[in-house]
Each structure stands twice: as C-alpha cells, then as structure tokens.
Structure 1
Amino acid sequence: MASRRNRAANGFAQAHFLRERAIEDTLLTLSAINRQFDVALELGSGDGRFGRELANTPAAAKVGLLIESDLSPALSAQQSGAARLILDEESLPFGDDSLNLVISTLSLHTVNDLPGVLVQIRRALQPDGLFIGTLFGGETLKELRGCLMEAEIEVRGGYGPRIAPFAEGGDLIDLMKRTGFQMPVVDSDRVTVSYEHPLRLMADLRAMAESNILHDRPRKGLNRALLQRMTELYFERFADDEGRITATFEIITLSGWKAHESQQKPLRPGSAKTRLADALGVKEGRFGTANERE
C-alpha cells in the first residue's frame, strides 16, 4: 500500500474531492463534542489536508498537539506544519493510554486487519479518549462493480474480484463494540459523482490510490475487450440525460470512546424507580399501559 500511495502522490491533489467530504464529516462530528484533546493522532494523513482544514475551524481550539502519520514518505513531505510520523496503521508505536484523540479519514478500509487496528487504537487512547474514523462503505462503486463483473463473465466466462469489498454500517457498529469501544455511533454519507466516461472514474481511483489492492486479484488484467464491454454496460444502465455516467461513494463515519468510569451506563433491568405508566400519566392495564377513557 505504501508504494501505491507513493505513486499516487503527484495526482493526489487533483482527486481529493472525496477526502474533502470525509474531512468535512469528521470535523462536523468533532465540532459537536464539548471536550479538549491535548494529544491527537491522524492516521493516513496523506497530504496534510485534514490538519489544514482543522486549523480554519473553531474545532481547532479543541485539539492541542496534532500528530500526522502516513505510510507514504512522498505524501508525508507535502504535509502541513504538524508533527509528522511515517508508520504502518497496523503496527502503532504508541504506548497504552497515550493519546486523547485518534482521527482517520479514508484510510482504514485498506488495512488487512481492521479489528486488530481498532484494538490498537483503543489501547493507545487514554480513558475517555475518542476515535473518529471515515471509510468507504458497502454502496461504494456499486455501479462499476456490477458492470465489471458482468462484462468479465461475458468476455472471459468467469469473474475475479476487481474491487475490494467494503464494510456495511451495521457490521461496523458491531465491530466497534467487539473491539471495546463505548457508545459507538455510525453515520452514512452517500455521494453521487458524475463522470463523462467510466475510464475517467478509473483514472480518479488510481490518482486517489484506490485501485485494486487485493492480494488474490486476477492475474489477467483489464484488456480492451473487457473495458469496452464494461463501458457499454455502464452507459446503458447508469447514464443521465446528458450522457454522463454516475458513480456512488458511501462514506461511513464511525466514532467511539474508550471506557471511563465517568461515562453514562445503562441501568440494570428492573432497577428503575419510576413506573412508565406514572411517567406517561396513564393507568396500567393487564397488557401494559392504556389511556384513561371517560
């Protein structure tokens, strides 16, 4: 993945529109939290865009030291004036309880072991520390995936995975719970992008370092016949009135807290001191509450 990000470094700035949307979603989540974060880490900071955008918002007052990190030295050289690290998201070099906030914008969907990364993030956070991450969800590139699959079946008589699978929102909230995060929240932001041609879409994916990263991807590449049939199918099914094709991207924002004794906890079943009927001002009947009738 590091070599892929290095190759994409020159074109990254021209294909940053989805990451800008993800950063906007992240800052919106952060701005709603009334908390000070003395030490924050950004995983997969790319060209440092998040740090620059953060500096221009009121949320900047909530963040003390921002540490930017990435796999790619080429992209790291373009970062903002924050502290910089070159590191692997799957091997975090931070001690337990050392960070107040961890941010990730559109980088964790490419890791090999997402549950393992989330466990490392939780361990690195101090009690009552916060994680906010954005990653592509299951609706992402559904049009391209469908057309590529059908075209390859027609042309070659079989299909190999060309696009890595993306997690669904419901699966992610369960994953946050299983990896020990408290009060997890998952939001979905669907973005529809218009292109003049499917190959223009694929060029943007390469510029964003979002081309196929699967280890077991097909050995045979996308030849002319396959691309031509995929293009025909794409225009037949997903072209608008102006002859441009559409592509869907689902940006999922997930957040969760490391456990702390000050956090709200659900009451034990049967421990309530007030009856629901009393709170609603109704009489309690045989099968629950009922409105009193005259």
Structure 2
Amino acid sequence: MNVFDRQAKKWQRECAALRDDYHIFNYLKDEIGDRLSDRVYDINRKFKVGLDLGCGFGHVSKHLTKDAVEELVMCDSSAAVLQKASSPEDTSVLCRKLVVDEENFPFEPESFDIVMSSLSLHWVNQLPYTFSQVMKSLRPDGVFIAALFGGETLYELRGSLQLGEIEREGGFAAHVSPFAAIRDVGALLNSAGFTMLTIDTDEIKVCYPSMFELMQDLKGMGENNASWIRKLHLHRDTMFAASAIYKELYGNEDGSIPATFQIIYLIGWKPDPSQPKPLDRGTGNISLKDIYRLDEVVKNATEDMVKKTAKEIPVPRDDGGENR
C-alpha cells in the first residue's frame, strides 16, 4: 500500500520549518506532546535509552527530564525541522539528533527501552512494517507510546469540501488525507506482537474565523494533504462555496467554525517473562452475569476471606500449652 507521497510530505514540512513564524503554528502539536509526555511519566520507571520517532520541533522531548529517560535519540525525516527541534530542557539528559525516515529504521535490534512518537505515524504508508520495526528496536519489557490522528479528524472540512466541489464542479476529489481507525490500530499492534495494550481517544476542537484560516494553519503545521491522489488545485468558486457550507453546517453562534482533531493514544509493551500474565480460561470465580450486583459479590468474597484468615491464625492457650 502506497497512499502518501513521502517526498511531498518532507517538502511540505521543510517549507513550514523555514518560515520565520513557524512556532506560532505549533499549538496543537505542543498540546499533544505535553499530554503524551504525561503518559511517559505515568510509568513508574526510569528508561535508560529512549527514541523520539518523528520528533518534529521537539513537542515531546522538551518535556522529558532525567527522571524519565537518561539518554534520548531524536529523529525526524526533515533536516530543517530537526535543526529547530527543542532538546530536553533538562541538560543532564544525553541527547542526539538523527535524520531518519519513519519507514526505514536504521537502528539495531534491542536498542531502546522506550519509543515515543507524537503525530507523525499518520503519514506512514506501511504502519504494520513500522510497528514491527519498533518492536525489534525495543529491548524486552520495553514500551511503545504514541499519538496519531484518528479517523474523525477534520470531518467538517472533509465534508464541506466535498459538498462544495459537487455543487460547483459536479464531483469531488480527496482533499483531506485518510486517517487510521482505532479498531485498526489495536489489530496492527497485536499483529506486531505487542502485549498489554492500552488504547484510548481524545477530541480537541479548535475554533477558527473561517475555513481559510484553518487551511492556512494546517499548511503552517506541515499537515496539508500529501496523498498521491490529491487534487493540486481548488477553484476559487469551490473554495468560497465550501466555506459557506462549513459555516452553515457547523458554524458557531459567534460566526467562528470548529475543527475537530481526534487523537488516538496507544501504549504497547514488548513481551518479557517478568510481565504479568492473564489467568487461564475457566479459572475465574465471578461470572459476568453477576456484574449488576458486583458490590454484593465483592462484599461476600471479602467476608469469606476474613473468616478463612481468622481460622488460620493460631491462638495461644492460657495454660501455657501448645497453640490450638
């Protein structure tokens, strides 16, 4: 499967990085990077070597300290972006930067204790292959933590452009890149061999004066469409029609328009014998049919455990004899 033009995406991101005001478009990626770093700190462990895959402008890396990771490798496919990427504010973290394509891993097997990726994997053509490479690069009991755009991202923009193009031109083309669905992400992680999966979603709505400001910000982020079947030109009349449709269907009372960004967060672990294992089938002692009275079941189980424990505690005799 070859959906995205990786060279076009690299060029788009480098153009965004060469802007003098590139930093003002980082608001969304900085927010997601902050939330992803919180998930790193939620793991009660200090990682020796970590990888920030598709680091962008250091949206995750800048939040990391030596309490999280001792040594960090920051990599990105764009040299211009990597040059301006923020290193960890904690200077005691050993950090190095490498130009690396997410689709081609140059790392040796079992090189990292943690691999992080924030909002870069949605441009990868072969997610199954990339996940398998991440798995190989992790040491046993290593963790993969990532965030990527989900399928509901920019549904308002997608629908408005399609309706506007149908109205003005009698048909429509793809103007918003396809995104992964949450059910597919879980299946791909399982296929790559990850265990103890945690996958959840979040939605962020950002309001803009009109559709034109939204599209300008997407270009400033380097997130404009890079699919092979993208249409390279939009007619002026189509743009104005789509903008009017956007405001009519989704507009707020104050005249602004909302843009939805669905974020999929995922955590997967490389298998290791030290990890907890699920119980065998049939060993459970609580049936799902009793879920409606869970409080009662837990109370009865607790009382039975207390009684059993009380019987096992030896009680000394008053006459100095042996315990009974």
Q: The residue matched to 2:132 in structure 1 has which SS?
A: helix
User: C-alpha separation between the residues in 2 aligned to 1:13 and 1:252?
Assistant: 24
Q: Is the 8 A contact 1:140 1:248 kept in 2?
A: yes
**1:218 positional shift:** 2.8
User: C-alpha separation between the residues in 2 aligned to 1:6 and 1:133?
Assistant: 23
Q: Is the 8 A contact 1:25 1:253 kept in 2?
A: no
Q: The residue matched to 1:49 in structure 2 has which SS?
A: coil
Matched, 1:119 2:127: no
Aligned to 1:25: 35
AA matched with 2:108: G
User: C-alpha separation between the residues in 1 aligned to 2:136 and 2:40?
Assistant: 21
Task: Report sequence identity in percent.
Answer: 37
Aligned to 2:169: 156
Identify unmatched segments of 5+ residues in structure 1: 283-294
Aligned to 1:78: 84
Task: Check 1:155–1:61 CA distance in 2 against 1; reply closer, same or farther (3 A cut).
Answer: same
**TM-score (normalised: structure 1):** 0.89
AA matched with 1:105: S
Q: The residue matched to 2:64 in structure 1 has which SS?
A: helix
Matched, 1:197 2:223: no
Q: The residue matched to 1:61 in structure 2 has which SS?
A: coil
User: C-alpha separation between the residues in 2 aligned to 1:189 and 1:12?
Assistant: 25
Aligned to 1:39: 49
Aligned to 2:186: 173
Name the count of aligned residue pairs: 276
User: C-alpha separation between the residues in 2 aligned to 1:16 and 1:120?
Assistant: 28
2:16 to 5, 8, 13: 8
Q: Give the RMSD, CA atoms, in angstroms.
A: 1.8
2:234 to 208, 222, 228: 222
**1:281 positional shift:** 3.8
**1:253 positional shift:** 0.8
Matched, 1:63 2:78: no
Aligned to 1:108: 121
1:182-241 Cα offsets, whole Å, 9 max, x none, are 11111111001110111000000001111011012235x111011010011011111111
Q: Is the 8 A contact 1:99 1:125 kept in 2?
A: yes
Task: Check 1:231–1:123 CA distance in 2 against 1; reply closer, same or farther (3 A cut).
Answer: same
Task: Check 1:242–1:117 CA distance in 2 against 1; reply closer, same or farther (3 A cut).
Answer: same
AA matched with 1:76: L
AA matched with 1:130: V
1:93 to 102, 106, 115: 106
Identify unmatched segments of 5+ residues in structure 2: 1-8, 88-94, 291-296, 302-324
Matched, 1:236 2:244: no
